[in-house]
Amino acid sequence: MPDPVRLATYLADLARCSRSEAEQYIKGGYVSVDGRVVEDPAYPVSTQVVALDPAAQLEAVEPATILLHKPVSYDAIKGHRPAASLVQPGTHWPDDPSGVRLLDRHFHRLVPLMPLDTEASGLIVLTQDGRVRRQLTEDRDEIEQEFVVEVSGQIAPYGLFKLNHGLQFRGRPLRPCKVSWQNEIRLRFALKGVQEGQLRDMCSQVGLGVVAIRRIRIGKVPLAKMPVGAWRYLPAGERF
């Protein structure tokens, strides 16, 4: 039996390409060993069957940004039940329009961003991309978020006006925002700098109880029709 060699070395000889190109093919998920995709250029091979996908392209593997439809009772950032645990190959949204190739490396070192109450559902962001992380951390309070809030009870007189402008939270005046009725039991909020517990408190101040909260947009990125518990990639051309 021949001594094992690095997969990148073996592929370079097999495909008659440079080792750097071989590594790029491997990291892009285009190389299989005995029928299983291997993304590690240092993976040892000897007598196994190594194959290069005929559709392989030499392209850099970009860090992934993932959009997840968080269910109620999962923790968006920290907690005993992290929503990040739902990001698995089996929960990838089949209708994901991004065109990004599903790679094993996309499930490592994902950083959750944009806090969302544990008892709320909706869009959350997890990323490997430092640029996205900086934007959603440094500019978070200036990025508009949109929520649909199901309510109960009877709204107080001038309650809708007060929700748009005139309430306080934790002793400080709230910034003006956009609140409107979506139907008889649901309000739509579009606001910046939202804090944990703020939407429930705002509704309480005008006589309404909160039944459910769902975040449907962060900046320009919508939740769209992605089902609860599923995720999709943020494609290169889509921006917050």
Q: Looking at residue 80, which CATH number applies to its domain?
A: 3.30.70.580
In a domain, 37, yes or no: yes
Query: Would the pLDDT of 44 be above 70?
Result: yes
What is the per-residue pLDDT for 198?
97
In a domain, 136, yes or no: yes
Whether the CB-CB separation of 126 and 85 falls below 8 Å is answered with: no
Residues 225 and 137 placed together within one structural domain of the fold: yes
For residues 195 and 199, what is the distance between their CA atoms, to the nearest angstrom? Answer: 8
Residues 148 and 200 placed together within one structural domain of the fold: yes
Residues 103 and 161 placed together within one structural domain of the fold: no
Residues 81 and 188 placed together within one structural domain of the fold: no
Q: Across the chain, what does the average pLDDT equal? A: 94
Residues 228 and 116 placed together within one structural domain of the fold: yes
pLDDT band at 130 (very low <50, low <70, confident <90, very high): very high
Lowest mean pLDDT among 21-30, 159-168, 173-182: 21-30
pLDDT tens for 59-75 read 888 899 999 999 999 99
What is the per-residue pLDDT for 1?
65
What is the per-residue pLDDT for 2?
77
Taking residues 167-193, report their average pLDDT. 96
DSSP-derived letter for residue 141 is G
In a domain, 58, yes or no: no
Taking residues 165-178, report their average pLDDT. 94
Domain of residue 97, residue span = 65-141+221-233
In a domain, 238, yes or no: no
Taking residues 119-140, report their average pLDDT. 96
Query: What is the number of alpha carbons within 13 Å of residue 43 lying toward its C-beta?
Result: 20
pLDDT tens for 183-231 read 999 999 999 999 999 999 999 999 999 999 999 999 999 999 999 999 9
Residues 76 and 193 placed together within one structural domain of the fold: no
Query: Would the pLDDT of 158 be above 70?
Result: yes
What is the per-residue pLDDT for 89?
95
Residues 11 and 48 placed together within one structural domain of the fold: yes
Q: Which residues pair with 5 in a beta bridge?
A: 45
User: Any idea what the CATH number is for the domain that residue 182 is in?
Assistant: 3.30.70.1560
Residues 109 and 167 placed together within one structural domain of the fold: no
Residues 207 and 226 placed together within one structural domain of the fold: no
> Residue ranges of the alpha helices (H) in 2-67?
7-15, 19-27
Q: Which residues pair with 67 in a beta bridge?
A: 125, 232
Residues 131 and 229 placed together within one structural domain of the fold: yes
| Residue 217 CB contacts under 8 Å (≥ 6 apart), including other chains | 123, 144, 145, 146, 190, 223
Question: What separation in angstroms does the CA of 90 have from each of 94, 98, 120, 231, 240?
Answer: 10, 17, 23, 10, 26
Residues 106 and 163 placed together within one structural domain of the fold: no
Our count of domains for the chain comes to 3
In a domain, 72, yes or no: yes
Whether the CB-CB separation of 67 and 26 falls below 8 Å is answered with: no
